[in-house]
Amino acid sequence: MHHPWLDPEVTALGRLPAYASMRRSEDMMIQLIDGWRFQLKSHASDVPSDWHTKETKDWSEVNLPHLWTMDDRFDEDSPIYTNVVMPFRHEPPELPQKNPTGLYRRTINIPNHWTQDRIVIHIGGVESFFFLYCNGQQVGYAKDSKLPSEFDLTNYLNEGANELALRVLKFSDASYIEDQDHWWHGGVHRHVYLYKTPSVFLQDVFISPDFETLTSSGRLAAKIRIGGRDRSSLAHTIEVQLRSPKGLKLGKPVRKTLKKDQFSYVTGKGPIVELTLPKRKVKPWSAENPTLYQLNVSLINDSGQYLESFDFNVGFRRVEINNRELKVNGATILIRGVNRHDHNPDSGRVLSRAQMREDLLQMKRHNINAVRTSHYPNDDAFYDLCDELGLYVVDEANIEAHHHYARLGDEPVWANQFLTRGQRMVERDKNHPSIIMWSMGNETGFGANHMAMTGWIRQYDPSRPIHNENAICEQGVGRMWDDNVHGTDVICPMYPSVEDIIEHAKHSDDPRPLIMCEFAHAMGNSCGNLKEYWDAIETWHGLQGGFIWEWKDHGIRAEANGIEYWAYGGDFGEERHDLNFVCDGLCWPDGTPHSSLIEYKKVIQPISVTRIGNHYRVTNKHDHIDLSGYSVDWVLLVDGELKQKGRLPSFSTPPGHYEDFTIAVDKVPKHGEKVLRVEFSLKKATSWANRGHIVAWDQFVLNSGPHPRKRKPIVKALNEQAAGQLNSDDLTITFDSSSINSITFAGYNIIAAPPLLNFWRAPIDNDGIKGWSGQDHKALGRWLRYGIDRLQWQHELEFDGQRKLVQRSRGKCQGGLLETISTYELDLNQLIVDHEFTVPLELTDLPRVGVRWQLEPGFEELAWYGLGPHETYEDRKTSGVLQIHQSTVTEQYVPYILPQEHGNLSELRWLSVNDGRTSLKVSGNGRLQGSVSHYSQETLTEAFHTYELSLSPYTWLCLDSMQRGVGGASCGPDTLDKYRVRHGKYRLSYGMEFTS
């Protein structure tokens, strides 16, 4: 028996041709949201042949959209996460016997006034294959889970009550080209509705606006297809009317009339009407200034009656590539982009328009200007929002065959699926000005099927470039990116290093621009050296940015032991899964930004200020707008505290230009570290941010403050009755022959254990993914082989008989020997500490070099003078604001989905904690790094989920000479060499001051 869900050559039966998105009025639609009855079968073969006609009692009520994998009532099937491998062990197009199948039924009532019209059902997205039935008859079936399928129900419906039914299979042959590094679900994930049209109707509208930079003029051509089978139709007229962004008519309407003999009665496809509007002055569309006009397209019958009328957004813009530059309206643009999957932690890939909008607003507020729809077309509403808010879009075909990479793209039996997916994407989305490139899919190799799709799209829509990551080279072959000039118009490598892209820019003569389709894998505590990427992009001709992988962690909200957490691969009992590799975003699943997103905002900001001698230079890095829309404020801080502030006159600097200015500061204090910060904020509210939203800022240390100096020690009295004790004022230190044992101040214990020399950190995902095999070559594998997490220490403590303790420490491990000399010197109520670490060559590239103090319970209040308020690391600190910050120890916890190192504070001048009785202030010299936490490194290292952590009453204070940068090696280049803890000597000096 032939099963269409096992036949790659079959894409659909009875499905209507794709067409451009049209905004239909509510009175022309019937939303099919509630009233659905649902059953879940474990196997496709379990479905009785009469399921859609026979009434039984074992149905559950559901609303559409609906994923049964996200519905707790149906625990027979759950979400599955895999990155590369398929979730089952078969070869294409074969499927496992267990193939969960959802059955949906609903009664619909057709109003009397609809019975003379054509009635169509719109099914927005189904994973992964479905049959449609109406009143017991099979209407058709379809694949392609990320684009709508529509069917003409006119001849199947009766007046009054009708029965609709959907049989949905979770897996089909199409699953092999939807292997997209995301959750595998089952169900209907986009909206389903009915709509009506006249018997003769507007079948498709293709709008082609263009913008001439030299004349600031716009041209607009439209191709309009009329559909219908009505032989009695007389002449019909198409009318188009352009309206301004304010809704005013621009010129007279343009009309064209067709006679009935021009209709095709065989195919049902009517003729194409071509219309051109007069050239006129217009404001262009860009991501920075998304000016939208409206084109009204109407169908009028011979009696003058308007049968249908639709409004389309029009953005006048031109996209072109020449001389290694991607240009919009003649201006070379930089892609400050992200990749984005559809994800909601509570509903899977079911998203409302409001949720999509919130994603895009968050992007705009963080200076992001471009989105790649990885790895499939999004819902219609997403593109409308990008048009309105101003984001460039790389629209990607629903094709990824990662497990069978470089195979299916050349096999003829898959050609129809490849071509159809590309065609249908372009047909639906062609009128959106936000879309500046068409992408041929992801990680599927490069073959004849890609070229068939590419050729069709080039011929149909020559106004947009083609993007195909797989066309430039085979995956994993390095910098050989000059392949297949016909397969892609941009060089779009995946996870190149900074060195790779610079070498390409310097030595390649390829005329295509380089735009990274994926870079800076944002998994956990990640996104190191973004500044180096962006410095290269802004420096070298031919480098035009890229898309960070990716926007959001894809954790699913779950609960264990009464504690809410984010679930990932394996948490639902999957046989095959890829753990937390699904949690690799700039935001948590609920949209809360990671510190990596704050860093990205700063690095890609479209305005910069530099200091040149006694004056400053502002550079406008926008592509299309000047700086007149920004207020410019400055603040002067002395030793981290605000002393002066002011506002500068606005700048009108054109894009790509700079302007010099000075700042008059009154009565500058003579002493203390002085820091000047300049901020650019919106003068007026926009569609994406309120007035006063800060878009860009820069800060300058005008002079360095004095380094902590040792005062002449005044030791109160050495307790000669106990040779292991030092006293000075209210401070008492006890020690033995190996270590300091206690510190008390004013009678209260400060430390709960001796200080620990610290060369370990709870592994971040970029060090090596916990629980994954094949990670031995990464830093974590090396550290575990060395035994850095289980150093065996020997300590000897020497006392000079007055005020100084010298501790000599030797840490043995499998890989070698770590040596440290620690000096502790008493000075009034302050302990002056100096550590000298020696890292041998055989142990080069360690997690950190530092010390860890375990403080007694109660130390909760926190303040520091350094970078903040968020966590910063050596290779991710550009976004840190240098001032005094107030917080708590508890608030320093960063709940990465897989627990790991977090909360580091860079460039510390000082840090203080207090318990309400005693304050401990640690002072450094501006190079000190540190963190405070209620979680030990050991606890974080062992845990795989946040619910496994328990808050300790103790406070761990970590102080470091250096900690390894975070890098991006979970999927991409490792930490840059200059941010690694190499062999050699390291110094860590600080004072610990105790006050009541």
Cβ-contact 449, 408 below 8 angstroms: yes
Given the residues 518, 550, 874, 907, the one annotated as active site? 518
Does 948 participate in catalysis according to the annotation?
no
Token pair recorded at residue 925: 């010299």
Single-letter residue type at 452: A
Which residues, other chains included, contact 58 with Cβ-Cβ below 8 Å and sequence gap of 6+? 39
Phi, psi of 982 (to 5 degrees): -80, 175
Which secondary-structure segment (H or E) carries 449? helix 448-460
Token pair recorded at residue 406: 């470089």
Phi, psi of 363 (to 5 degrees): -60, -50
Beta strands in 383-477 (DSSP E): 392-396, 400-401, 435-439, 466-467
Cβ-contact 12, 125 below 8 angstroms: no
Distance CA 833, CA 825 (A): 6
**Which of 762, 684, 689, 692 shows the shortest CA–CA distance to 942?**
762
Tally of residues, the chain: 996
Does 443 participate in catalysis according to the annotation?
yes
Which residues, other chains included, contact 993 with Cβ-Cβ below 8 Å and sequence gap of 6+? 829, 830, 920, 921, 922, 923
Which residues, other chains included, contact 367 with Cβ-Cβ below 8 Å and sequence gap of 6+? 336, 600, 601, 604, 605, 606, 695, 696
Q: Rounded to 5, what percent of the chain is helix, strand, coil?
A: 15, 40, 45
Distance CA 474, CA 488 (A): 14
**Which of 780, 751, 783 shows the shortest CA–CA distance to 767?**
780
Single-letter residue type at 353: R
CB neighbour class for 834 (10 Å; exposed up to 12, middle 13-18, buried from 19): middle
Distance CA 474, CA 480 (A): 9
- Please give the span between the terminal C-alpha atoms of the chain, in angstroms, as a whole number: 85
Given the residues 178, 427, 443, 907, the one annotated as active site? 443
Single-letter residue type at 508: S
**Which of 699, 522, 541 shows the shortest CA–CA distance to 598?**
522
**Which of 537, 498, 546 shows the shortest CA–CA distance to 974?**
498
Which residues, other chains included, contact 567 with Cβ-Cβ below 8 Å and sequence gap of 6+? 555, 556, 557, 558
Q: What is the 3-state secondary structure (H, E, C) of 243-281?
A: ECCCCCECCCCEEEEECHHHCCCCCCEEEEEEEEEEEEE
Which residues, other chains included, contact 379 with Cβ-Cβ below 8 Å and sequence gap of 6+? 124, 125, 190, 342, 351, 356
Distance CA 35, CA 169 (A): 21
Q: Which residues are catalytic?
A: 443, 518
